[in-house]
Amino acid sequence: MEEIHRVAKLLYVSKYVIALTGAGISAESGIPTFRGKNGLWRKYRPEELATFQAFIRNPKLVWEWYAWRISMVLNAKPNPAHKALSKMEQMGILKAIITQNVDNLHERAGSKNIVKLHGDILKVRCIGCRYEKKLNEPPTEIPPRCPECGSLLRPGVVWFGEPIPPQALRETQIHMEKADTIIVIGTSGVVYPAAAIPYIIRERGGKVIEINISQTAITPITDYSLQGKAGEILPLIVKALEKLGY
């Protein structure tokens, strides 16, 4: 409790707070994380599913996995952690969320300034032409094909070995240069370049706050490491900020 208040005070005096989020922030919405005991990668090997080569080798298998994840995202609801971040943006404290998540729960919670480092699972695009579309239900035909040219459609996510979308990278750069505090929520901090962001902010003299149910690769460089569920801790921080006059 003491620590929550210290964190709230730090946020209160910070000039430019950003958040880095990972799969853990959506866990309480029922979307499984990638690593850990109920992690998605436990049942599937990433190289079998999340690479372009794997997709070309077996589009049906990869699309079955994505169709399952798409329906999970469409059925999920933002949880108190997403809502607390949205509230912090409304308060004028949080300037941006940089997320590794491909779900749409930050925007559905009302957050406006979101940078999607790993793409968007609800956007599909053609591998043969410029056709793209937004999904509001899982594809019925698996694998789905382009209505314009007949090539395979692919999920609009970043796979292993693929670059981060340039626009997302530019926006991240701008926020990183301004940020004097970062809140790192629900990420294991092992996938780069996302994992480098807290280190860069720390090197420039910024503060690092972590919220996670366990210790991570980032924990050693944090100023505050709050252990617990994001959906419980973030609302407490919002409450503490309200007490400070927000």
Give the tokens for residue 71. 């329906």
The whole-angstrom separation of Cα 189 and Cα 187 is 5
Report if residue 61 touches ligand OAD, rule: CB under 6 A: no
Report the residue number, 36 or 110, with the smaller CB distance to ligand OAD. 36
Closest CB to ligand OAD: residue number: 24
The reply on whether position 183 binds ligand OAD by CB under 6 A is: no
Rule CB under 6 A: is residue 140 a binding residue for ligand OAD?
no
Shortest reach from residue 199's CB to ligand OAD, in Å: 15
Alpha carbon distance 56, 158 (integer Å): 15
5 is catalytic: no
Does the protein bind ligand OAD through residue 213 (CB under 6 A)? yes
Should residue 33 be labelled a site residue for ligand OAD when binding is judged by CB under 6 A? Answer: yes
Compare residues 89 and 103 and give the one whose CB is closer to ligand OAD. Answer: 103
Residue 208 forms beta bridges with which residues? Answer: 182
Report the DSSP beta bridge partners of residue 116. Answer: 99
User: Of 5, 82, 106, 118, which is the active-site residue?
Assistant: 118
Q: Which of 60, 214, 220, 245 binds ligand OAD (CB under 6 A)?
A: 214
**CB under 5 to 8 A by kind: which of ligand OAD, Zn ion, none does 131 bind?**
Zn ion
Burial (Cβ within 10 Å: 0-12, 13-18, ≥19) of residue 5: middle
Strands, E, within the chain: which ranges?
A: 17-21, 94-99, 114-116, 119-126, 132-134, 153-157, 181-185, 207-212, 224-227
Residue 158 is a binding residue for ligand OAD (CB under 6 A): yes
Residue numbers annotated as active site? 118
